[in-house]
Amino acid sequence: MKAPDFYLNNYIADELRAAFDKEDVCISYSGDYEPETLNQVHNSCEILFVEEGEAEYQINDTVYHVEKNTVLIIGATDRHKFTFTTLPYIRYGLTLMPSFLQSLPIVSGYMNVYQTQTPENAAKLVNLESSVFQRMIKILWELRDERESGEEGSDMVCALVMELTILLKRQLQMESQESSGTYKAMNELKHYIDTHYQEDLSLSNLSKIFYLQPGTISKNFRQIWGKNINRYINSVRITNAVRILDKSDISITELAEMVGYENVNTFLRQFKEKMDVSPLQYRKRRQQAMERMHTREMFSRKERGEENWKI
């Protein structure tokens, strides 16, 4: 296992963010980088483990305070950005794809663990007992070892994620929802939305696919996931639009169609509502942020004496 210092300040945002949307499990360790001023969204659930320092995270419209020995859970497709309040700020990050979590025994009954928590629940993960926090960190390093050995989907990876889930659900004092027929149906429906976001997801069409009344779908989806289903569909679509924007020069009209919008004006309105900027503004600011990140990375490599720091 590499020493922790190897990963500190080795935060390459474009590579890491790409992993957030394509890898079942992604682990990072970073610190002392600039606060994120542009909203982020991705398809994976992100869990932060704060080792040192303090910060404020805005997730959707709610602000969460994190400090040493704090764990913060950011649900998939939830908009977020952060600001440091005490430096140095050092944290481990873990992202997990919902489809991977749903495939695991035990974990599939605790998908509510991997949502953005209410402020009251989030407070249960602030300033954890050192022994509990360090056990979670040990799980992260063991997960990294498994990933580096090329065993992403190994039994050990699954076992480690299940252990982390148990630790988190105990801290959050959550009960399994797996035995509920409503939960199973809404879990399947949510997975369908996540993977078919570019298709017709009107309530009438979902009703035909899942043999449920539109009103029942709306009511039960909100009951299980705490979100309006139409807002969730738009959230998934815009999150995938951001993912595509990050790596493509596709036109806005093509992008709207690709993520399921027949009307480009509807897409523009939903994008602005989710990200606070238009798609073109997002693309420009993202490129500027990547240029700044690249410059800092080259400077960091030079400071470390790496021969290829100009690359």
Contact 290, 283 (CB under 8 A): no
Does residue 300 have a pLDDT over 80? no
pLDDT in tens, 137-148: 999 999 998 888
pTM of the model: 0.88
pLDDT in tens, 220-247: 999 999 999 999 999 999 999 999 998 8
Q: Which residue has the tokens 């899942």?
A: 210
Q: Any alpha helices (H) in 106-202, and if so which ranges?
A: 119-122, 130-148, 155-172, 181-195
pLDDT in tens, 121-177: 999 999 999 999 999 999 999 999 888 877 555 889 999 999 999 999 999 999 887
pLDDT at 304: 58
C-alpha–C-alpha distance, residues 145 and 10, integer Å: 17
Buried b (16+ CB within 10 A) or exposed e, 3-29: eeeebebebebeeebbebbebbbbbbb
Mind giving me the DSSP string for 29-65?
EEES-----S-B--SSEEEEEEEEEEEEEEETTEEEE
Contact 43, 240 (CB under 8 A): yes
